[in-house]
Amino acid sequence: MMEILHPEDWQTKQKILVILAHPDDPEFFCGATLTRWIDAGHEVSYLLLTKGEKGSEDPAMTPEILTAVRMKEQRAAGEVIGVKEITFLDCPDGYLIPDLSLRKEVVRHIRQVRPDVIVTSDPQNYYIRGRHINHPDHRAAGLVTIEAVFPAAGNRFYYPELLKEGLEPHTPQEVWVSLPVDPTIVVDVTTQWSNKLKALLEHKSQIGDPEKFLRNMTERRTPDSSVDHPRYEESFRRLYRR
- Cross-strand partners of 187: 5, 234
pLDDT in tens, the chain (242 residues): 555 555 788 999 999 999 999 999 999 999 999 999 999 999 999 999 999 999 999 999 999 999 999 999 999 999 999 998 999 999 999 999 999 999 999 999 999 999 999 999 999 999 988 889 999 999 999 999 999 999 999 999 999 999 999 999 999 999 999 999 999 999 999 999 999 999 999 999 999 999 999 999 999 999 999 999 999 999 999 999 86
Other Cβ atoms less than 10 A from the Cβ of 30: the count is: 26
- Say if CB 122 and CB 179 are below 8 A apart: yes
Domains of the chain: 15-219+231-240 (3.40.50.10320)
Question: With 0-12 CB in 10 A as exposed, 13-18 as middle and 19+ as buried, what is 195?
Answer: buried
Other Cβ atoms less than 10 A from the Cβ of 168: the count is: 11
Given this model, what pLDDT does residue 9 score? 87
- Say if CB 174 and CB 117 are below 8 A apart: yes
Cis status, amide bond into 151, omega within 30 of 0: yes
The model's pTM is 0.95
Q: How far apart are CA 104 and CA 97, in angstroms?
A: 13
Q: How far apart are CA 23 and CA 127, in angstroms?
A: 20
Q: Residue 238, CB half-sphere, CA atoms under 13 Å: how many?
A: 16
Kindly give, in sequence order, each residue whose CB lies less than 8 Å from that of residue 37, ignoring residues fewer than 6 positions away: 8, 14, 16, 44
Given this model, what pLDDT does residue 122 score? 98
Kindly give, in sequence order, each residue whose CB lies less than 8 Å from that of residue 40, ignoring residues fewer than 6 positions away: 8
- Say if CB 201 and CB 207 are below 8 A apart: yes
